[in-house]
Structure formats: C-alpha cells, structure tokens
Amino acid sequence: RKEVEQDPGPFNVPEGATVAFNCTYSNSASQSFFWYRQDCRKEPKLLMSVYSSGNEDGRFTAQLNRASQYISLLIRDSKLSDSATYLCVLRSNDYKLSFGAGTTVTVRA
Amino acid sequence: DAGVIQSPRHEVTEMGQEVTLRCKPISGHDYLFWYRQTMMRGLELLIYFNNNVPIDDSGMPEDRFSAKMPNASFSTLKIQPSEPRDSAVYFCASSLRYEQYFGPGTRLTVT
C-alpha cells in the first residue's frame, strides 16, 4: 500500500464552484501535513500546512482526521487560477516528506 | 528574496555522458533535498543533506548517481554515465524547518 494515496481526478468544476478532495495516509506516526500545488511543468509550491484543528487560508480550508488517517482540502469560489495539481504531503519522524501523486483540478470559465 | 536556484534549466545529453546538476538553496536554510519527478513514479526523494552532511541517500537509484554539498550555498547532483531512463525533472528543495521550498527544476533528457 502506498504511504500517501490521492484520487488523481481530474475534478472539472465551473468558476465559482466549491471543490473538495481527500488524501489518505498509511503511517499513523505521521506528524506534519501539508498541501502543495504544482502547475504544469513547474515546481511544487507550498499551499498550506494542515493543523490538527483544521485551518483556513482565504478560500482554502484544510482538515485533518487522525482517527481515519486522512486530510482534506476544500476550495471555495474556485478561480481559473486554481487549476493545478494538488499534492498531499506528510512528514513522519525526520525531515523527509512523502508526496502523494496529486489530484488534478481544472476550473472552467 | 531569492528562492532556490537551479541550473541548468534544461539539459539534453547523449547516453553515456556525464551530467551535473547544480543547486543554490535559500540562504539560511540548513536542509537541502534532491528529488526526481517522472509521470510514472511521481516525485521521489533521492538524497538529503543537513548542514552540508548527507543524511539519507537511500533514494539514490544506483552508483551512477552521486551528490555533494561542499558548502552551505551549493550542491551538485551528478549522473555518470547517464542513461535514457534517467530522463526526468530533477528538483532541488531547501528548508529551515519542515516546509520545503523547491527550485524551478532541471529538465533532463538523455537520448
């Protein structure tokens, strides 16, 4: 079983819609969680860290469910510029990060 | 502020040639990571350094790959000899704590 699993999508949504997707992880000892976004042919960029109590950053909301071992990302009021691949990332017990394969989101006009 | 700098951005080489990729981390960051990304395998960690010392090289695919960090502001990843299956995007990332910041990558094509 992969350490980090994501639905690859694609999620095709109209501008202004809300889109949400999850990521599951297998290592219960995972300590830190992040969402990165990656645009086509670009580098991954940190979108937000995910805290135990859940957190928001503008239109983006991240949740962590340790009992069920998943994290989620919700994007409200989608913009065309939100079209990207969203990578679920976790850290276990050192400084290495484990990356999921990504969920592709396409926002259409 | 300057981010992570990588060079070259694109490299096309013939099988059997030596390839050297370069990275300058963000100033003050004490962790440096080398990754490889392909469609088939996604993003794979090759090696990482802390304070210029290699900590974990378990992701280095084979002896053809080597990495060095002679000082806090420079690292190299070398492939010798290169093979077509090494074609990928190679990213360097640096961090001070857990959040990693990636460079723009080097797109390597080995023919």
pLDDT tens string B63-100: 999 999 999 999 999 999 999 999 999 999 999 988 99
- Contact list in B for residue A23 (CB cut-off 8 A) is none
- B5 close to A (CB below 8 A): no
Would the CB atoms of A95 and B98 count as touching at under 8 Å? Answer: yes
Q: How far, in Å, CA of A95 to CA of A105, rounded?
A: 28
Would the CB atoms of B45 and A95 count as touching at under 8 Å? Answer: no
Would the CB atoms of B43 and A87 count as touching at under 8 Å? Answer: yes
pLDDT value of position A106: 97
Encoded tokens for A32: 């830190």
- Which residue in A has a C-alpha nearest to residue B98's C-alpha? A95
pLDDT value of position B1: 65
- Which residue in A has a C-alpha nearest to residue B46's C-alpha? A96
pLDDT value of position B31: 95
| For chain A, percent of residues with pLDDT exceeding 90 | 80
At residue A39, the 3 state secondary structure works out as coil
